[in-house]
Amino acid sequence: MKAGPIELGEGKSSAPKAGVNRGMGILDFILRILAFIGTLASAISMATTNETLPFFTQFIRFRAEYNDLPTFTFFVVANGVVSAYLLFSLPFSIFNIVRSKAQNIRVLLIILDAAMLGLLTAGASAAAAIVYLAHRGNARTNWFAICQQYNSFCERISGSLIGSFIGVVVLILLILLSAVALSRHK
């Protein structure tokens, strides 16, 4: 054994080591389901958000929808893509539990996880920047805080960020788990 396990003790014999590997595989599976639920909930709750104000002028009907802002459309697409990826990665995660020696699949998963982490973080933080603007506005650029009018719209879009950021944290944990699992396999 050239490099020892960096955590969880020094399992010299084969049986406890396989048990730890299996435990890490199951944790990987659970985390993927958690991130899948988070990103799917984010995508759905953002995509179904709209609010029509109870007054209108002859020029404008005051109605806010998520696709009024291109950033929110990107947010929905990013969350949709990542949740689809997480769903399709579940069989590979199960395969890793059953055959814990399969290195190549783990390397593939770690690379795709990193790419999905990039996509999801991009969507979530771009949407967060716009939500912040909607809440606070910006005096220097004369961008007004639209949340003063669209209360429930703003609550929904703020809430839908939560699942997405849970997904980001879980994806970082998944990369961590895979890296540890890769280094343990000799």
Structure tokens at 116: 């999905």
Give every CB contact of residue 129 below 8 A, 6+ residues apart in sequence: 71
The correct pick among 24, 40, 69, 82 for binding a second copy (CB under 8 A) is: 69
CB of 158 within 8 A of CB of 135? yes
Per-position x/- string for 1-40, each x denoting binding to a second copy as judged by CB under 8 A, each - no binding: -xxx-x----------------------------------
Rounded to whole angstroms, how far apart are CA atoms 23 and 21?
Answer: 5
First to last CA, the chain: 7
The least CB distance from residue 131 to a second copy, in Å, is 10
Cβ atoms < 10 Å from Cβ of 4: 13
Residues 87-116 that bind a second copy (CB under 8 A): 101-104, 106-107, 110-111, 114-115
CA 133 to chain centre: 22
Beta carbon nearer to a second copy, 57 or 104: 104
Only one of the segments 37-45, 46-54, 82-90, 123-131 lies at the binding site for a second copy (rule: CB under 8 A); that segment is 123-131
The correct pick among 16, 132, 148, 155 for binding a second copy (CB under 8 A) is: 132
The correct pick among 88, 152, 155, 179 for binding a second copy (CB under 8 A) is: 179
| Tokens 């109870």, residue located | 54
**Residues in binding contact with a second copy, number by CB under 8 A:** 52
The least CB distance from residue 93 to a second copy, in Å, is 16
Structure tokens at 156: 């929904």
- Assess 68 for contact with a second copy (CB under 8 A): yes
Which of 118, 79, 78, 110 shows the shortest CA–CA distance to 92? 110
Rounded to whole angstroms, how far apart are CA atoms 179 and 115?
Answer: 15
Q: Which residue ranges make up the site for a second copy (CB under 8 A)?
A: 2-4, 6, 64, 68-71, 101-104, 106-107, 110-111, 114-115, 117-118, 121-130, 132-134, 138, 140-144, 146, 168, 172, 175-176, 178-180, 182-183, 185-186
